[in-house]
Amino acid sequence: MFGFLNINKPRGETSRTVVNSVQKLVRPFKVGHAGTLDPLATGVLVVCVGPATRLTQFVQRMPKTYLGTFRLGVESDTEDLEGQVIPVEGAEPVDRSQLESVLKEFVGQIQQLPPRYSALKVNGRRAYKLARAGADFELNPRTITIESISLVDFTYPEFKIELECSSGTYVRSLGRDIGRRLGSGAIMTNLTRTAIGNFSITDSISPIGIGVESIRENLVAAQDRLDDLSYIAVPNTQLELFANGYTWEPKSPLTDGQVGAVDESGRLLAILNRKAPDCYTPKINFSKYWLEQTQRGLGL
């Protein structure tokens, strides 16, 4: 139980509910997710199983692709259908050319104010809990990157876009800002995350009826999806040394930054940091896990 599950989260379910359903089946292994989806949203939820929970940061920084649907002429406190929807006074109809022109303004690196109903923390408390309690608080704008936006469908007052964006982007807040730029306001009515990096919705599985065997069958090896890492092969005879925090000196120089170390079977042993020009040390170490599997007769 070491790898990633690409799950298609259903509408109405929280990300935590999906994680908990997997957790019950694979105990005592840990389970976590690498990027939450709101209950309203569907699509790719990468669930990390076992030691792979230590690799969430690598999945979280992968670009995300979404299909989002929005309604012009209204706003809500949650920026989507689940809040109190209020018509925007004086909002006038928008045509396709106006919308396409405004969409172009949001491509690139931009500042975005996160929604008040979000899981961000303010002085140690979740923003959505403060918002529900009617508390007065401020969130700071964040820098995000919108790689691309394309208009998929438009019949006023509804429009649908596909976008690729960086981690930390709130799509409902993007819709809010597009609507306000048009002088109309907008709320998100539907959202599907179609990809996180190389995790595609076409390869995802449903959490409904999932079992231990289907988890094993669909578990993706960690090293198969961490495309932004370079990998080096380490002899199996070094497994125990790596398990003890062995510092490795390769015969030839490696790339700068972090690299992945794999054994002769291609299993991920560690994420290495460059300690010196010709010296690497484990930053995230899985060698002890594989050593235990080998000693139990489940490994090499």
Catalytic residues: 38
| Tokens encoding 120 | 């961000």
| 256 conformational bin, left if phi > 0, alpha if psi -120 to 50, beta if neither | beta
Dist. CA 255–CA 93, nearest whole Å: 54
Query: Are 106 and 198 a contacting pair, CB within 8 Å?
Result: no
Query: Are 221 and 268 a contacting pair, CB within 8 Å?
Result: yes
The count of other CB atoms within 10 Å of the CB of residue 278 is 13
Degrees (nearest 5) of the Cα angle 154, 156, 159?
40
Q: Rg of the chain's alpha carbons, rounded to an integer? A: 22
- Name the residue type at position 125: R
Dist. CA 149–CA 262, nearest whole Å: 38
**Sign of torsion, CA 216 217 222 226?**
negative
The count of other CB atoms within 10 Å of the CB of residue 61 is 14
Dist. CA 13–CA 5, nearest whole Å: 17
Residue 54, C-beta contacts closer than 8 angstroms, at least 6 positions apart: 284, 286
Place of tokens 């000196």: 249
The tally of CA atoms less than 13 A away on the side-chain side of residue 198 is 11
